[in-house]
Amino acid sequence: ATADPVSVSPGGLGGGSWCQEHEMIHGRLDVIEEKVIKTVEHLESEVKSLLGIISETTSNIPIAPGTPLIDILDGEY
């Protein structure tokens, strides 16, 4: 039968394996957190690069006189 974690006293039976499992989970979470941070940093870099390309491209597009300008990032579309 599995011991109730509430009734097991610190340092008692079953405490060592729970502690090792707890440390293992924290280790895995640390690895996941690091991967998430690196992924977010990479995505931020990619978005900045894409926005730079869009900005350069749109500044070179000739606009006919009288054409209304539309801001696609203003949230209305």
Structure-token pair, residue 23: 């440390």
Q: Is the distance from CB of 14 to CB of 8 less than 8 angstroms?
A: yes
pTM beyond 0.85, yes or no: no
Q: Is the distance from CB of 5 to CB of 16 less than 8 angstroms?
A: no
pLDDT band, residue 48 (cuts 50/70/90) = very high
Q: Is the distance from CB of 8 to CB of 15 less than 8 angstroms?
A: yes
∠ CA(48), CA(36), CA(17), 5° rounding? 170
Average pLDDT score over residue span 36-57: 94
Look-up: residue for tokens 């491209």? 57
- The predicted pLDDT at position 5 comes to 52
DSSP state of 22: H
